[in-house]
Amino acid sequence: MLYTKTINGQQLSFIDYGIPSERPAIVVFSGWCQDHRGWEELLPYLIYEYRVVCLNWRGHGPNRDRVEDFGVEEQVKDYLALLEELEVGKFVAISHSHGGWAAMQVAQTLGKERVPAVLLLDLIMTEAPPEFVDTLKAIQNKETWRAALFGLIAAWEANTSNHKWRESRIKNAGGHGFDMWARGCREVERAYATWGSPMKRMEAMPGPSTSSTSTLNNLVMWNYMNNFRESMPNGSRLSNSVEKPIFLPLNCRNQ
């Protein structure tokens, strides 16, 4: 069931499953032009043990009317406000795709005691390949965005044989036009240009996590899933819960 709250002047939708307990909650961050439905395969493995919260970004809820321009900064502000409204205490952040940029900023803002771990799923952890940057730019161009987007989604589909995942990606991407796709690609391009890579973004976070040992500890969940991905027979780059959801709760229990 979707709930709504007015956050920062915007009516935003979200899910809030499970019952608050002493265990850390699970707070998930969707990628651009995706919504809470992308986590449906994972939820049954979590909600009986953890509280799970997912905010749909502006313009990503049931109402797909156009919205004023926004970016990662607004995503972070909206999520921080929602967490305050819902009185969410300690939690593990789990992001899909480029929702990871907002997840890392939320974690940095709240600190390691509040957010002891961040799990980044299906994200290019190195510097962005030139061909990927070219695609991001093409989707920001009204003359080329459709062809570029079709090619990008085709590449996603080619990297997995999981029918449920492919179906989920297509169904969840509906209702968005040029403005939202271009906005998302602009923010992704900007993030890589600013930070270089997600790994460098993590290194720039202040506090104990900047040391190599602490960084490895903080990344234990991501590393586990990344190693698991390398051993997957279908060769998917998607090291996430949609492909193999049962493994995620095993990692969360270690936090």
pLDDT digit of tens for each residue in the chain (255 aa)?
Answer: 899 999 999 999 999 999 999 999 999 999 999 999 999 989 999 999 999 999 999 999 999 999 999 999 999 999 999 999 999 999 999 999 999 999 999 999 999 999 999 999 989 999 999 999 999 999 999 999 999 999 998 887 777 777 777 777 777 888 999 999 999 999 999 999 999 999 999 988 765 443 333 333 444 344 434 433 333 333 333 344 444 444 455 455 555
Q: What are the extents of the domains in the chain?
A: 3-126+197-252
Q: What is the pLDDT of residues 172-213, one digit of tens each?
A: 888 999 999 999 999 999 999 999 999 999 988 765 443 333
Class of domain 3-126+197-252: alpha beta
What pLDDT does 95 receive?
A: 96
Do 99 and 30 form a contact (C-beta atoms < 8 A)?
Answer: yes
Q: Measured between alpha carbons, how far is 23 from 43 in angstroms, rounded to an integer? A: 16
Q: Tell me which residue of 16, 21, 88 sits closest to 54, measured CA to CA.
A: 16
b (16+ CB within 10 A) / e for 88-116 = beebbbbbbbbbbbbbbbbbbebebebbb
Burial of residue 198, with CB atoms counted within 10 A of its CB: 0-12 exposed, 13-18 middle, 19 or more buried: buried
